[in-house]
Structure 1
Amino acid sequence: MQVNNEQHTLANKTFDEIAVGDSASLTRTLMPEDVKLFAIMTGDFNPSGAAQQYSESGMFREVIAHGMWSGSLISTLLGTQFPGPGTILVDQALHFARPVTIGDIITITVTTKQKFERNKHVLFDCVCINQENLTVVHGTVEVLAPTEKISYLRHTHMPEVRIDDKLERFDRMLAQVKGLEPIPTAVAHPCDHESLRGPVMAFQAGIIEPILVGPESKIRAVAEEFSIDLSGIRIVNAAHSHDSAAMAVSMVRTGDAEALMKGSLHTDELMGEVVSRANGLRTNRRISHVFLMSVPTYHRPLLITDAAINIAPTLEDKVDIIQNAIDLAHVIGIPEPKVAILSAVETVNPKIESTLHAAALCKMADRGQITGGILDGPLAFDNAVSIVAAKTKGIKSAVAGNAEILVVPDLESGNMVAKQLEYLANALTAGIVLGTRVPIVLTSRADTAETRTASCVIAALIAHAKRNAASAAS
């Protein structure tokens, strides 16, 4: 007798209904999330299963399932299908013949071997085979079979479980600059815990060579209070925050630094020095800001612009804002980024200026005034990031549902989108200013050291791209 594992009603087989030779099967595919969830639930963080880097150097050269993952599926089959609800596991003897690796399709089968009338126990042969018909687990299990009929509706929709390892995403970001030479970076006024720990973390990771510009006594006091090691890090004394900003920008102009990083001072203080026509870091491009975000619920990196510099950008401003973001996308390895120009609606409406801007910008891209990306707009946020939403509204677009750059109408809307993703969706965030002579790490004073370090990664990639371009030109 084969038991259908797709039934919507859970109904058991009582001891009296079970016959020797009856069997049931269950099939599952091992996913990476299964290994992590099993480790979290059991506390078994055996690195052969939980850690990719260890498993690649171990016996099996790849991530394998915990042995009892297969064993738990045997229990699942017994408890939900055959005999079903009311079954109690009494004993088991399992032999693990070969490893189960990510992507393996495992079929578990239990077959009635023997019944014991005196205590209502049933002995089952059990076997788990993979997609190549090779046995991975075999043995026997003994259960106390149910003696009363039980039947109820199966829960067909289980809650979605998502594994979000932010540290893993952070490590992947740091890996992008592995082996690259650290970039000299002037850090303006790092005079609180996170603004000092960020550049020090980036220094220890080999991303930057920070030059701490600010009141030396205050910097050292913060380092001592929070046990931050400043060994090997240069400090340039400055009188106050405004002086720190001026000196840090000056170090970039003289070539002592190839990147600039905001510390604990106000953004206006730093950017005031940056945009100074006499001594600043302007280029022929409009200066703009990009949030680069790794969002666990989205399948692509997201670049959001501009949410920190341009309050109400004009159409002309947005040309540079988009081009800056496209150029950054190229640097981080996106050869032809998909650019969604956001509005509240996805149709052109003369009463909504952002839709007019979107239409004009797309046509400008068609005419070669914006290059290197695929533009579409206006698009509402849902259409930009959800292919389902786009299809529902009949939007046919190479960008909709797969956007990598989100161009927001103004600073307010962009800042809200970025902060919502960071605080509600647990996005890993980096912030960078573009359109200047060098990349500028510009983060909020509330941002963590990890966010600041991630931003240093982006600054380092841009600085190395500039070096390579200069080398190629010469």
Structure 2
Amino acid sequence: MTSYTNLTFDEIEVGATLSVQHTVTRDEVNLLSLVSGDAATFAADEPSRQACDSWCEGVGAEALIHGLLKRRLPGPGTRILAHELQYDHAVLVGESLDATIRVASKQPPNRLVFECEVLRDGDRVLSGRVTVAAPLRHMTVSQVETPAVMLRRNDVFGKLLRACEAAAPVPCAVVHPCDHDSLMGAIEAARQGLIDPVLVGPRARIEAVAAEAGVDLSPYRILSTEHSHAAAERAVALARAGEVQALMKGSLHTDELMAEVVSGSSGLRTARRVSHVFVMDVPAYPRMLLVTDAAINIAPGIRDKMDIVQNAIDLAHVLGVPCPKVAVLAAVETVNPDMPATIDAAMLCKMADRGQITGGLVDGPLAFDNAVSPEAAQTKHIVSDVAGQADILMVPNLEAGNMVAKQLQYLAGADSAGIVLGARVPIVLTSRADSVRSRLASAAVLKLLAMAQAKAPVKGQA
């Protein structure tokens, strides 16, 4: 492990000089662009990528100078006080830079002024002066190994949030928000203009959580109920009456809420089977990925699967995918009479051929690898418009779906949003493990669906 030991103010003489050579890498460009907000670096088209290959218009060269000062001369303990720098040229990936810093003056008790210059093949990229506070005592620090970083080039959730900006917040019943995470998730979604929350649950408990968090609930409507069962019943009634256009689960159990949603006499059923979709932003995958059903239907039959696929296709349309590609997953890519998942996959494909499933391309059975990897599909000689480029993964059962979704989250670094489909209104099932980003993304999906359903009600809605 590399260590750096500083020089103190008293040890540094005017004229002391340090030079280093550095080659610009693609990862450095991407990371600095992410920090600086230069989102264009992540553009999908090649001309935009080429135009954005510059090292953050000089910011990278400046970072190189700062690194020399804070690691080498004076080194650890150095504070940057001010700089006057001029940027003459951009730097491209793969180009080699020569950076030099020289002590121009000393100002007791510990101020140093450095003349700085960065050259590329003799051409000046950056020049100017940087003023630092040098350390007064010795210090040694170890260089921490740079962690692997996966950059999200798709910005799936950012696109969803931006798609919501122009529309008014959606009236949404937040069911039993009686813990910090569920209440603050709803409040943050309201602050972002995604929902107009109606807080349904025991008023005293909701207000106690808000008081502990220092949140003012006066802008929000509270409908007090005795307990969580009553909160679920009241929220569903609000949706049936059209007073809210969406539901968001709070701190009650999912079964409590969904029992009211699917109740035959007073629930929110439609002609469709209710199902759940994870909307996923997977760093290593070049497009948004939907996984269904990993939360509601434990062991769906073929009729249930037909609705599950159709629900996911309809959601993909709302999220901007005009003709989603559905991969029906199994352990293998051939039909095997001893493996029911492959039989169901073949049936779903034929249903799509006959117009029983519409709006997307359906293919299966496909194993996970050849559903998402063009190379795997090619190796196995699979000729398909879906294989290797799926937008939707239709899983055989809940266990398989839950495993796929959780593995993508915890091993592949995926962000996920979740939504329940097939009811009269969209429903978000939040989890304690959800990040703020995931909660907001789920609320964004909810808002887009509610907007779409307001224009075209769900099939079978009374």
SS at match of 1:325: helix
* Structure 1 partner of 2:38: 52
Cα–Cα, structure 1 residues 445 and 95, in superposed 2: closer, same or farther, change >3 Å?
closer
Bigger CA radius of gyration: 1
C-alpha separation in 2, matches of 1:408 and 1:163: 26
Letter in 1 for 2:90: P
Q: Does 1:362 align with 2:349?
A: yes
From 172, 191, 202, the equivalent of 1:215 is: 202
User: Does the CA contact (< 8 Å) of 2:182 and 2:430 recur in 1?
Assistant: no
Q: Does 1:137 align with 2:128?
A: no
Letter in 2 for 1:357: D
* Structure 1 partner of 2:450: 463
User: Does the CA contact (< 8 Å) of 1:198 and 1:450 recur in 2?
Assistant: no
SS at match of 2:416: strand
C-alpha separation in 1, matches of 2:226 and 2:248: 18
Aligned-residue sequence identity (percent) comes to 53
* Structure 2 partner of 1:98: 89
* Structure 2 partner of 1:382: 369
Which 5+ residue runs of structure 2 have no aligned equivalent?
1-20, 42-50, 69-84, 99-117, 128-145, 458-462
* Structure 1 partner of 2:57: 64
* Structure 1 partner of 2:227: 240
Distance apart, 1:225 and its partner CA:
1.6
* Structure 1 partner of 2:8: none
Distance apart, 1:406 and its partner CA:
0.4
SS at match of 2:247: strand
Deviations 1:248-289 (A, max 9, x none): 000001111000111111111101100111100000111111
Which 5+ residue runs of structure 1 have no aligned equivalent?
1-25, 76-93, 111-124, 130-134, 140-158
Distance apart, 1:168 and its partner CA:
6.7
* Structure 2 partner of 1:430: 417
Distance apart, 1:227 and its partner CA:
2.4
* Structure 1 partner of 2:29: 35
* Structure 2 partner of 1:80: none
C-alpha separation in 2, matches of 1:296 and 1:407: 20
- Count residues with an aligned counterpart: 371
Distance apart, 1:303 and its partner CA:
0.7
Q: Does 1:311 align with 2:298?
A: yes
User: Does the CA contact (< 8 Å) of 2:154 and 2:288 recur in 1?
Assistant: no
Letter in 1 for 2:286: H
C-alpha separation in 2, matches of 1:317 and 1:432: 17
Runs of 4+, deviation exceeding 6 Å: 26-30, 69-72, 165-168
Distance apart, 1:161 and its partner CA:
4.6
Letter in 2 for 1:51: G
Letter in 1 for 2:251: S
Distance apart, 1:453 and its partner CA:
2.1
Letter in 1 for 2:205: K
C-alpha separation in 2, matches of 1:349 and 1:136: 67
Distance apart, 1:37 and its partner CA:
3.8
Cα–Cα, structure 1 residues 54 and 355, in superposed 2: closer, same or farther, change >3 Å?
closer
Distance apart, 1:233 and its partner CA:
1.0
User: Does the CA contact (< 8 Å) of 1:295 and 1:421 recur in 2?
Assistant: yes
- The alignment's C-alpha RMSD in Å is 3.3
Distance apart, 1:362 and its partner CA:
0.7
Deviations 1:218-242 (A, max 9, x none): 0111111222332411111010000
